[in-house]
Structure 1
C-alpha cells in the first residue's frame, strides 16, 4: 500500500546528498549522526504537512499558496522555470557519471547524461503514476541494498554510532551539520508529495492514517540509508584520512577506494547503487515537478493549459509534457561545459531558496481557517515547521555567502 513517500524520499536523495553525507563521515566520523536523524525527522514533518493539506482540504498546495497573495504565484512561477533548467543538467550529469565509470570504453559523460535524460522523459511520458512508482520502488531497493550492505561490510563501530546520537558540534562542523539536517532528501519534490498522494488514489481525510504510515516508512528507510552512507565515510575514509572530491565526482573517488580495499566487483556494485540513486531523482523530478508545473499553469493560465490540466488530468496535459521537454532538452546545452562549477553553485543556491518558502507557507496554511479544525497543526507540527523554516533560511544565507562574488 505504501508508495508516494518512498517516491518523494528517493527523489530527494540524490548523488549530491550521498557525497555530503559521506564527506561528513570522512571528516568527523560518527559525530554528526544525530544531525542526519534530525534531518529525516524534519522531512517527515514537511512531507506530512503537505500530504495533510491535500487530504484535509481537497485542494492542491499551489491552490493554497495562491490564497497568500499574488507574490507566491510570481515567486513559484519564476523559480520553477529557472530551477528546472539548472536541475535538468545537474541530474543528467549525475546519472551519467557512474555509467562512464562502469563502461569506460563507452560513450562520453555528455552522451550518457543525454541518454539518461531521454530515458527519464520516455519513462514518464508514456506511463502514469502507478508505473512510475514501481520503477522508483526498484531503484529504491537497489540503492538501499547496495549502500546498507557496503556499510555492513566495512564494519560499523556500534559503540561509536551510539555516541554519535548525542548532539555535538566539532570545530568547523557547523556548515556540514546544517547541510546534513537540511540537505538530505530536501528538494522542491517535497511539495509534489500531495500530488503523488492524490495520484495513488488517496483523496479524502479517511486516508490520513495511511498517508502518515507511508511517510514514516519512507523516511525511516531514508534514515537507515543516510546512516549507512555516514558509516561508510567514517569507517572507510575517516580513519585512513582520505578526502573526497567535492560534487558528484566524490562518489567516483569513493568507488576507487572501495576497489582498492575490496576489489573491482565491490566497486562496480557501488556504482550500480550510485546510478540507482541518481536516476531515481531523474524519474521523480521529471514526474513530480511536471505535476506541479501543470497545476500552476492550470490555475493561473487555464486557456493556455488546456482542458486536461484544468480537469485535473495532469499527466496527459500539455503543460505537463511541455515541462518534461523543458527539463530534458534545453539543459543539454549545459552538459557541454567542461567544468560547470557555476552550474553546481547555482543549483545549490536555487535549492536553498525553495525550502524556507515551503516550510513557512505550510506553517501559515495549516493554522488558518482554510484547514478544517481537526487537521490543523498541533504544537509538534508547528514547532517542526517553524524550526525548518529558520534552518532553511540560515542555509540559504550560507549558500549565498559561499558564492565567489
Structure 2
C-alpha cells in the first residue's frame, strides 16, 4: 500500500474506491446506519431546550407551543438538502458555500458570515459551562466551600471571591473535562456517547411531564388547544425569535450536519459522482439512509423540546418564575420538584433532585462537547478555504482540530466569567443563528438548483417544503431584525 493510499484509509473526508458499499435496503439494517442526526440531536437538546425553551414557556405559558413545533420541523427540509449535496458531491458545507457567487476575501462571503455567527454562538457555550457550574454547586455545596477554601489558602483574595461565585470552579472543571474528552476520541466515540446521553435526557424529561398529570400542575386539553392559537404575546417576542433560532436544527447544526454525514461514511459509500447508473443507485440508497437519520433525530429532539416547553409552561408560568442569572438552576429545579409537593410522590423529591441535576449536567455537557467538536472541524475547514492554513494531510488536520477543541472551551469560559448571565448569553447566540438561517436556506436552494443531479432527487414535494422552509425562516429573521431595531431606537437617547 502506498503512503497516499494509507492516508486515504484514515482520512474520513477522502473517497477511496475500496470504501464503496451498497446501501441497506431493509429498515432493520438502515436504522443501524443512523448516527449523524443523533449527534446533531445531542447538540440541539441543550441550552436552547433546558434554558431558552423552558424560559419561553415560563413567560408565554402554552401559547407558543405551535412555534416550538414549527421550529423543530421546518428546518429539517433544509438539513436534508445539505445532506443530499454532501452525498452527491462529496463536499463539506463550507466547501460548497465557497462556490457561491458574490464577494470574496480568500473565500466566499457566506463563509465569513458563518465565522462571525460561530464566534457569536460561543456565548451559548459560555452559558453551558456556567450553568453546569451552577448545577454542580447545587449538588455539592460542601465540596464548593472546600474548593474555595483550598484556593483561599494559596491566594486569600481568590478564596473570598470564589465564596460568592462558587460555580466558577465547577465551570472550570467542566471545561477541563470537556477538553480531555474531546482530545481522546473521534467520530465513533462521539456517536456512542451522544446517543446514550440523548436517550437518557429525553426519557427523564418526558417522564417528568407524565408525572405532572398526577399533580396540581397537570396539563389539560384546553392548555394544549391554547398552544395552537398562533398567538405571539408581545412580552415574549424577543425570546420567541431567539428560541426559533436555537430550537430544532439551528444554523450551527445545519452547517455541521454534512460533516457528520461525511465522517459517518454516507458519501464514501456512494463513491465519487459519475455518469454510471450504479453510482446513481448507490447515491439514492445512501440518501434515503440520510433522510431516515434526519427525520428519526427530528422525532427525538422534538419530543424532548416539547417536553421542556410544557414543563416551563405548566410549572413556572403560573408562579411567575423566570429562570435566569445565578438563580437559574435553582429555579429550573423547582420545575421538577414542586409538582411532587402534597402528592404520594413527595418522598421522591430527593431522588428527583439528583435526577434533575444529573439531567441538567448531561444536557449541557453533551451540547458543549458536540458543539465544540463541530466548531473545531469547521474552523479548520474555513482556514483551509481562506488559505490561512492548509493541512499537509489528515493527521495535520486532526491535530489542528484538537487545538481548537482546547481554544473554544477556554474562550467560552472567559465569556461566562465576564458576563455571568446564561440566559442573556443564550439569547445573543440564538439571535445570531436566527439571522444566519435564511442565508443558509437560500444558499442551499441555490446550490441544489445549480448543481442538482436529477437521478438523486429531490422530489417535487420535498422541493416545495424546502421553499416553504426558506420563506418561513426568512419571515422570522426579518421580524427579528425589525424587533431588534425597534428596541434599539426605543433605548437610544
Q: 1:283 to 1:55 in 2, by over 3 A?
A: same
Partner Cα distance (1:301, 1:345) in 2: 33
- Alignment match, 1:367: 449
Whether 1:211 and 2:290 are equivalent positions in the alignment is yes
Whether 1:21 and 2:85 are equivalent positions in the alignment is no
- Alignment match, 1:283: 369
Contact 1:46 1:359 in 2 (8 A): yes
**Which of 302, 306, 324 is 1:227 aligned to?**
306
Q: Report 1:37-186 matches (<5 A).
A: 37-68=69-100, 69=102, 70=104, 71-80=109-118, 82-83=119-120, 85-107=122-144, 108-155=166-213, 156-160=218-222, 162-164=224-226, 166-169=228-231, 171-172=233-234, 173-185=236-248, 186=250
Q: Report 1:200-279 matches (<5 A).
A: 200-203=264-267, 204=270, 205=283, 206-238=285-317, 240-246=318-324, 249-262=327-340, 263-279=349-365
Contact 2:438 2:477 in 1 (8 A): yes
Larger radius of gyration: 2
Whether 1:384 and 2:446 are equivalent positions in the alignment is no
Q: 1:283 to 1:390 in 2, by over 3 A?
A: same
Please, what is the CA RMSD of the aligned residues? 2.7
Contact 1:352 1:392 in 2 (8 A): yes
Q: Deviations over 1:76-119 (max 9, x none)?
A: 34444x33654443332132221121112224311211222222
Partner Cα distance (2:122, 2:477) in 1: 22
Contact 1:188 1:351 in 2 (8 A): yes
In the alignment, structure 2 segments of 5+ residues that lack a partner are 1-31, 145-165, 271-282, 341-348
Partner Cα distance (2:121, 2:393) in 1: 22
Partner Cα distance (1:120, 1:8) in 2: 17
Q: 1:23 to 1:334 in 2, by over 3 A?
A: closer
Partner Cα distance (1:170, 1:350) in 2: 21
- Alignment match, 1:189: 253
Contact 1:305 1:318 in 2 (8 A): no
Contact 2:43 2:366 in 1 (8 A): yes
Q: TM-score, normalised by structure 2?
A: 0.73
Name the stretch that deviates more: 377-386 or 126-135: 377-386
Partner Cα distance (1:121, 1:307) in 2: 24
CA drift of 1:176 comes to: 4.8
Name the stretch that deviates more: 265-274 or 283-292: 265-274
Contact 1:290 1:321 in 2 (8 A): yes
- Alignment match, 2:279: none
Whether 1:325 and 2:325 are equivalent positions in the alignment is no
Q: TM-score, normalised by structure 1?
A: 0.87
